[in-house]
């Protein structure tokens, strides 16, 4: 009998607490700092006296490059592309077959959807008329070289954006560039 009395008292207290709850007003916060974050601006904070203007960190020194990254020597200008025309592939010519096989794999993933598997400008998106004006590699007016192909992959050209971020490293971009030149040779035969 005592058990039933204790259970009924607890039940009445729970019902009383539940009936007093107002869903339109917020409850008490146990640790308000955890629920209400303080917004900070990047590189702005408390003036600690270490850096000027109360910043938390400084920008890298001008001309600094990331570890493992080598900047491309030609600019994204028509003059830079003409300078890149004379650039040759740095890949080892003794491994040309391996480079062409890897270049073909990467070309099928990134390029063939627009440029076509043969490089004739008849990719899947062109056939469906989603993209227009994709040139064939055998177009005499294009006069592409392995250097200009790499430059186009690196910076993009016209409606084609840069694909440099798609590849793991520079070697892969050179492999695709060499494969494009092989496709150009096959089309001009």
101-124: pLDDT as tens digits: 999 999 999 999 999 999 888 888
132-176: pLDDT as tens digits: 888 888 887 778 889 999 999 999 988 888 998 899 888 999 999
Q: In terms of pTM, does the model score above 0.85?
A: no
Q: Which residue has the tokens 């993009």?
A: 156
- Show Cβ contacts of residue 112 under 8 Å, excluding neighbours closer than 6 positions: 123, 124
Q: Where are the alpha helices (DSSP H) in the chain?
A: 2-20, 32-35, 78-85, 96-110, 112-115, 124-127, 146-155, 170-188
CB 84 within 8 A of CB 151: yes
CB 183 within 8 A of CB 118: yes
């Amino acid at each position: 009998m005592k058990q039933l009395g204790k259970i009924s008292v607890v039940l009445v207290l729970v019902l009383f607490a539940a009936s007093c709850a107002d869903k339109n007003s917020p409850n008490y916060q146990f640790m308000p700092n955890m629920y209400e974050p303080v917004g900070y601006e990047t590189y702005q904070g408390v003036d600690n006296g270490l850096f000027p203007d109360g910043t938390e960190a400084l920008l890298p020194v001008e001309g600094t490059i990331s570890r493992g990254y080598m900047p491309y020597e030609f600019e994204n200008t028509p003059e830079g592309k003409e300078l890149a025309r004379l650039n040759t592939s740095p890949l080892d010519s003794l491994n040309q077959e391996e480079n062409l096989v890897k270049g073909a794999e990467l070309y099928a993933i990134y390029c063939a959807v627009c440029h076509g598997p043969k490089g004739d400008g008849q990719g899947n998106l062109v056939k469906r008329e989603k993209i227009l004006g994709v040139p064939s590699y055998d177009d005499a007016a294009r006069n592409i070289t392995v250097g200009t192909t790499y430059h186009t992959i690196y910076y993009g050209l016209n409606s084609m954006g840069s694909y440099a971020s798609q590849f793991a490293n520079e070697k892969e971009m050179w492999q695709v560039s060499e494969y494009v030149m092989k496709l150009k040779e096959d089309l001009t035969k």
